[in-house]
Structure 1
Amino acid sequence: MFSKAEAQKMKKEFWTAFADAYPRKWLLYDTKIKDVTFKFYVDNKKAQVMLDIEPREDDKRIIYFEKMESLKNILLDEFLPEAVFERNFYLENGKVISRVWVELTGISLYNMASWAAIFRFFNLSMDAFERFFYEYEDYIRDLDINT
């Protein structure tokens, strides 16, 4: 097991190595939709690429999620066949958000032998998510277009 300092150091090395391996600017928080963001996540069991929908107004969150749901077949058929949709996803702090994500299991941030697989998963998954988003962003962004 790692000390807290060693774990922090390894996390920093992981993210630096990922940036070096795939030096590009990811969309992430720059969706131009307030509180709709793409995120990378990794721990000692899994890696995830996710789209979090977390406006304070619950009705806005539901509208954005329903727009994503209306595009579900396209996302699954053409971009990310393993994507999971969850309308009410509970964060550790109790906050409810909506989330669409893909996951890679059987890896660990703390096992450097896993890094290449995680990096590849991150790159392929986020690239597919971004291509999907760019193709449908006008529809997703516009709250006046009904689902």
Structure 2
Amino acid sequence: MYSKEEASKLRQQFWITFGKYMKPIPSAEGLEINWVNYKTGVKHIFFKMNAEQRQVIISIDITHHNQEIRALYFKQFKAFKMLFNETLNEDWLWEAETENDFGVPLARISATLDGISIFNQNDWQALISFLKPRIIALDQFWVDVKPIFESIS
């Protein structure tokens, strides 16, 4: 078991390692990008990557405080589900209504890998292998659909 400080340091080391690993990879538009802190450019839509003790998750979080607008964004993503699945080459979990760890309501589209830990450095390659192709594919998908979301935001 790690202290809070040790756990925080390991998390930080992992994300620094991941960032360095991803740094040479350009965005779908050929630009330099901060993969760890991906900016969608659309308010209330976030691409999140989270690694913890027993799993890693990558998600699109729709966080608008207004449930109707959140539902509209989610419906728009659903309209692009075929393109999404083709771009990501897999089916993700689609949740129209869920909550984050703090009880804040949101809509989420996510993929999870269980059984690996950010606290085990032997798992870091598996974590990177899970996250890398998915965040790159999300970026490609986003280039194709972002203008639609900009027009409704």
Output the TM-score relative to the length of structure 2: 0.86
1:45 is aligned to 54
SS state of the match for residue 142, structure 1?
helix
Query: Structure 2 CA distance, aligned partners of 1:42 and 1:113?
Result: 14
Could you report, residue by residue, the CA deviation over 1:98-141 in whole angstroms, capped at 9, with x for unpaired residues?
A: 01111112210011111011112111110111101111111233
1:36 is aligned to 45
Query: Structure 2 CA distance, aligned partners of 1:71 and 1:41?
Result: 24
Query: Structure 2 CA distance, aligned partners of 1:29 and 1:35?
Result: 13
- Runs (4+) off by over 3 Å: none
Residue 92 of structure 1, CA deviation: 2.8
Query: Structure 1 CA distance, aligned partners of 2:125 and 2:88?
Result: 21
Residue 19 of structure 1, CA deviation: 1.4
Ranges in structure 2 where 5+ consecutive residues have no aligned partner: 24-32
Candidates 113, 118, 126, aligned match of 2:122: 113
Query: Structure 1 CA distance, aligned partners of 2:89 and 2:71?
Result: 22
1:127-146 mapped onto 2 (5 Å cutoff): 127-143=136-152
Output the TM-score relative to the length of structure 1: 0.89
Whichever residue aligns with residue 93 of structure 1, its letter is F
Query: Structure 2 CA distance, aligned partners of 1:22 and 1:117?
Result: 14
- Aligned length in residues: 144
1:91 is aligned to 100
Q: Is the 8 A contact 2:15 2:36 kept in 1?
A: no
SS state of the match for residue 103, structure 2?
coil
Q: Is the 8 A contact 1:27 1:130 kept in 2?
A: no
Q: Percent identity?
A: 24
1:22 is aligned to 22
Query: Structure 2 CA distance, aligned partners of 1:25 and 1:93?
Result: 26
1:10 is aligned to 10
Whichever residue aligns with residue 126 of structure 1, its letter is I
CA RMSD, Structure 1 to Structure 2 (Å):
1.8
Candidates 105, 125, 141, aligned match of 2:134: 125
Whichever residue aligns with residue 105 of structure 2, its letter is V
SS state of the match for residue 47, structure 1?
strand
Question: Greater shift after overlay, 28-37 or 111-120?
Answer: 28-37
SS state of the match for residue 44, structure 1?
coil
